[in-house]
């Protein structure tokens, strides 16, 4: 069956079958998948009626009512939201509808996660429902893939450095990443590079723990402390800064231990993006095993202090940065 893209690697059917299951907790991708399915249904039948069923407000028998033919006929799409929150009544009614499909009806079920609603999922899969997976995008590699796809989807080229800068600037929220990509496409022309990202999101990038960690790991102690103070003044909590410091050091250890090989090969083995491997290889000069060990211990001590074990969280981070610098010089 032909497919169209709705997100980073997420696919929706071009020819919509009677049953569609959208599963996974990444809300943005689930919304795009649903929108794509409904758009295809409207392309096939502009008059298709869309009915949304909220699991938490469901009353027994509503599914049979929604599935019944309307007075004037026509196709229907019934969207069951959050079946993972569904009670027994809704689950039983959906199972009945799967076992006895109604004519001219497309049943679209959304399930985020968990075991509740598992019978519905199993029944839909047994009925050969089209399944669209929307798992959470957590790793930097997956976020980088998502950003790259967003620009391709909108017909623009983006450099690896710009992708990295956006991921570091925006952070965890996928919706913010998507919005930032759309903003750059709308407001700029040509290839989106790191300079463009700096222009639009430089404040966020400078205030992030990533820049602090990059400077500290590179032995740029003064710059790391300056960026730290900037981040704190901008309202960034010390806890995520320490977390990024620890993550950067662990990345150096992993990439250093991976040995030679292409960036793509090492990245695939370590579940990273190739640009992360290249970045770590550039940073690892001047480090050895004992130095990395000392730096990791210093950051672990800072982690305890910023989470309530010390009196001054900011000073704890500053001390960790100084310890990293010392460990690197001794490496």
pLDDT tens-place string over residues 107-152: 999 999 989 999 999 999 999 999 999 999 988 888 999 999 999 9
On whether both 234 and 252 belong to a single domain, the answer is: yes
* Range of the structural domain that residue 165 is part of: 137-203
On whether both 212 and 313 belong to a single domain, the answer is: yes
8-22, 27-41, 131-145, 178-192: the lowest-pLDDT one: 8-22
On whether both 161 and 71 belong to a single domain, the answer is: no
pLDDT of residue 237: 84
On whether both 93 and 147 belong to a single domain, the answer is: no
Question: DSSP letters of 30-50?
Answer: HHHHHHHHHHHHHHH-TT-EE
On whether both 221 and 309 belong to a single domain, the answer is: yes
pLDDT tens-place string over residues 153-199: 999 999 998 998 888 888 778 998 999 999 899 989 999 998 888 88
pLDDT of residue 207: 53
pTM of the model: 0.65
On whether both 86 and 126 belong to a single domain, the answer is: yes
On whether both 236 and 269 belong to a single domain, the answer is: yes
Query: Distances in Å between the alpha carbon of 100 and those of 19, 32, 51, 68, 123?
Result: 12, 28, 19, 12, 12
> Which of 137, 111, 108 has the alpha carbon at shortest distance from 26?
137
73-82, 197-206, 319-328: the lowest-pLDDT one: 197-206
Total structural domains within the chain: 3
pLDDT tens-place string over residues 206-242: 557 788 888 899 888 998 998 888 888 877 888 888 9
**pLDDT top residue among 60 and 236:** 60
On whether both 13 and 112 belong to a single domain, the answer is: yes
How far apart are alpha carbons 154 and 303 in whole angstroms? 41
On whether both 85 and 148 belong to a single domain, the answer is: no
């Amino acid at each position: 069956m032909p497919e169209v893209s709705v997100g980073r690697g997420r696919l929706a059917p071009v020819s919509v079958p009677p049953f569609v299951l959208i599963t996974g907790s990444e809300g943005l991708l689930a919304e795009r998948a649903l929108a794509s399915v409904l758009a295809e249904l409207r392309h096939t039948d502009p008059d298709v009626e869309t009915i949304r069923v909220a699991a938490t407000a469901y009353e027994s028998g509503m599914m049979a009512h929604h599935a019944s033919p309307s007075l004037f006929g026509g196709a229907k799409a019934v969207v069951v939201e959050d079946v993972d929150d569904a009670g027994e009544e809704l689950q039983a009614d959906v199972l009945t509808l799967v076992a006895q499909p109604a004519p001219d009806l497309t049943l679209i079920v959304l399930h985020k996660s968990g075991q509740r609603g598992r019978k519905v999922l199993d029944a839909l899969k047994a009925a050969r429902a089209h399944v669209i997976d929307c798992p959470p995008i957590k790793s930097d590699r997956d976020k980088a893939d998502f950003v790259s796809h967003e620009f391709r989807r909108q017909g623009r080229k983006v450099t690896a450095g710009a992708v990295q800068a956006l991921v570091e600037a925006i952070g965890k929220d996928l919706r913010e990443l998507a919005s930032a990509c759309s903003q750059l496409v709308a407001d700029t022309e040509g290839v989106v590079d790191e300079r463009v990202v700096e222009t639009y999101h430089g404040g966020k990038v400078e205030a992030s723990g990533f820049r602090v960690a990059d400077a500290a790991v590179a032995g740029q102690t003064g710059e790391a402390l300056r960026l730290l103070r900037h981040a704190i003044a901008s309202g960034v909590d010390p806890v995520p800064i320490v977390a990024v410091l620890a993550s950067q050091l662990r990345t150096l250890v992993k990439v250093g231990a991976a040995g030679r090989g292409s960036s793509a090969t090492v990245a695939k083995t370590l579940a990273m993006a190739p640009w992360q491997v290249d970045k770590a290889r550039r940073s690892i000069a001047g480090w050895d095993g004992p130095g990395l060990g000392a730096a990791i211990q210093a950051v672990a001590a800072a982690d305890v202090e910023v989470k309530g074990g010390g009196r001054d969280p900011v000073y704890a981070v500053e001390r960790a940065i100084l310890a990293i610098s010392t460990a690197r010089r001794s490496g």
